[in-house]
Chains A and B, each alone.
Chain A
Amino acid sequence: MKLWRFNGGLPSLAEHKNESTHLPIEIAPVPNHLVYPLRQHIGNAATALVKVGDYVLRGQKIADAQGLISAPIHAASSGTVSQIADHLIPHPSGFSAPSISIKTDGLDKELAPSSQPDFRQLSAADLVSLIREAGIVGLGGAAFPTAIKLDNQSKSRRIDTLILNGAECEPYISCDDRLLKERADKVIEGVNVLLHLLGAKRAILAIEDNVPSTFKAIQTAVDKNNNPVINAVQIPTIYPTGGEKQLVQTLTGKEVPSGGIPADIGIVSINVGTVYAVQQAVIEGKPLTSRIITVTGEGVTTPRNLEVRIGTPISTLIDVCNGYTQYAERLIMGGPMMGFALMNDEIPVVKASNCILVASKHEAVTEKQAMPCIRCGLCASACPVSLLPQQLYWFSRSEQLEKAEKINLLDCIECGCCDVVCPSHIPLVQHFRYAKSALKVQHHEKHLSNIARERFEAREDRLTKEKAERAEKSRIKKAALKEKSAKETIDAAINRAKAKKQNPTEGEG
């Protein structure tokens, strides 16, 4: 298959995948309690369906989607709801947010999986609602509700290509790799579901070329499945080839329009983990309650992949991996390029968590002495979206956010390539994240001030109108009065005239 090359990227990024790939996926035990932040996907937070004290089963829906872009949440084990309150969430802000906590009873009682009819009999709409009900969101990164992505019925777009993202381009992370190695058949089954749902002409499953054994496993599964429209491809190992836009470009040579989505060019791209979740939901009737997470880094004793119940506190995962080593320095959720550091390990994993990296001092640099930008342009040649990070940086640093926006700040995918190659060690991505979020706030304020202006002007209009009305009313009243007085004056004049006739010497005043 012909492949294309996107701009820049980092071919030489250290890998560190082996630490965690040689062990099979282990199923992590049920923790003492599970915590579910109500917002663990893009869109509106879910609304709790349970009260404190309620008993719930594994697979039971405990929070429901609110609005279109949202996803329900299901309990991952049986137990009682212990509180519904703010809890630390895995988020770079370090904020707490409303969450449901469940005290597990260790019995792990499960809601009987609803037996499913053959998916080929189901309409696309049925499948979409099934996937939505299963609480499936993108497990590859953004946690965007998958049902919406798949629901192309309502839209006029035709999907012809389904891309299965198994690239896993970030260092350290290997959950998709293990998943593909061990459960390739099920993933391919999921692909069939999606193909049926979307009516796409072909499916491409992309894997980086540095894991040939996995490719072999998947190739075998594809062959076995014997569906000619499914294709497994090896793509060059260049970070961030797993980024949706870069993957689309690599595989099809097309570009996702800025501000658009792949569906605009007839493509849907889905992470292989998500596909597995779809298979679980559609074929086996299980909602999304667990996912595979890589626990790795020099800070854990036994790095490996775990199948983890969503909601499990990180500390439990570390215990499964035989605890911290003396080198544990930093706790990172996600990979070393895109992840974020957490303050403590009582934070639960959520649907989007694909990796827990317990980094040692030399694995995670922190104290970089930033030098001034020397305009070497290395960042620009590394940027996979062909931005000019140095210019973005000058504008962000000096708070000229509109200018940064003008040179396409919002197209930055925050991949971190520029940051890593910068000889001046400038925290570029952090500048961009700041600028993007500040810009968002600015836009919001602008929006508010526009509303305020409209309302103010509307009110002014109303007031003047009211005033005018009042004036009009009083004018009418006065006019009535005036009419009266006019009549009076006329009468008076007549009288006077009459009087004059009688007495001509009397002049008028």
Chain B
Amino acid sequence: MNNYQQIFKNGLWDNNQAFVALLGLCPLLAVSNTVINGFALGLATTLTLILSNSVVSLVRRQVGSEIRLPVFVLIIASIVTIIELIMNAYFYELYLILGIFIPLIVTNCSIIGRAEAFASKNPFAESFIDGLAMGLGFTSALVILGAVREVLGSGTLFANAHLMFGEAAKGMTITVIGDYEGFLLAILPPGAFIGLGLLIALKNVIDKRLAKPATQTVNLSMAEKKA
């Protein structure tokens, strides 16, 4: 596996910010009550991650330790504000829904986390890819959690897609369960916590499954060597 693949795997699975590092939880839990909300915030976050990682990686040598944190948050805050302004201008209704969580991307722990842990130590290209991978990993977590909560909570999928993709997307909304009383818990705060908990457990199970065949093949090759 080459370096970039490794970074990708890391971001999407091994060190997924939402499932493994447990960073950026606030937006993750708050905005994942529908797929579309999750997707939108995910994209905004990804964009921020890529930009902030790139910029931080470029300037990492110029910033002394005593002002590192302020400079990093300044960079991130600028990027986020720009994104916020653009969303405000061109995706107004979505902007209204995502609410306070757009400016809060600034303190999304995974962004400053990546800036500190990766971008401030790695060259531009790697940092860029890392931002992309981490962002996609985070977005997929948002989307998956959003899907689970939306289906359980209101029996639909892709509701409000038009806010993102324009009027044409109105038809995208799928009603999974018709005439559904709605498992309210799923869209309320507790549902977010429990949903994420269950998804993490699911990931653990999958990881274990994945690990098993791997060790088996190792054993096999050992056996071959002996033979």
Q: Do chains A and B touch in the complex (CB under 8 A)?
A: no
Residues on A lying within 8 angstroms of B by beta carbon are none
Q: Mark B residues whose CB is within 8 Å of A.
A: none
